[in-house]
Amino acid sequence: MKWRLHDPRHWPATVSIGQGHDVRTVAGRLGRSNPAMTLRVYAHAFAAADQALAAGLGDLLRGDDD
């Protein structure tokens, strides 16, 4: 895999948001005082987190123990 200049910055932010960490904390780690830019740049990570949340809720409703 070839890393680009900003990949070391984007990767941990994307992973953190995808794992459900709040955007204000992630924005602070990136050195941003306002999380709005972080919300715009990493919107794709929120979609993945939303899908994981929906799947987990579906499991609970079906009574899956996994």
Q: Does residue 4 belong to any structural domain of this protein? A: no
DSSP labels, 15-60? HHHHTT--HHHHHHHTT-S-THHHHHHTHHHHHHHHHHHHHHHHHH
C-alpha span between 36 and 40 (Å, rounded) = 6
- pLDDT reported for residue 27: 93
Q: Does residue 17 belong to any structural domain of this protein? A: yes
Q: Which residues contact 12 (CB under 8 A, 6 or more apart)?
A: 29
Q: Does residue 3 belong to any structural domain of this protein? A: no
Residue range 42-60, pLDDT digits in tens: 877 777 778 888 898 999 9
C-beta of residue 32 within 8 angstroms of C-beta of residue 39: no
- pLDDT reported for residue 2: 85
Q: Does residue 35 belong to any structural domain of this protein? A: yes
Q: Does residue 43 belong to any structural domain of this protein? A: yes
Q: Does residue 52 belong to any structural domain of this protein? A: yes
Number of domains in the chain: 1
Range of the domain at 57: 10-62
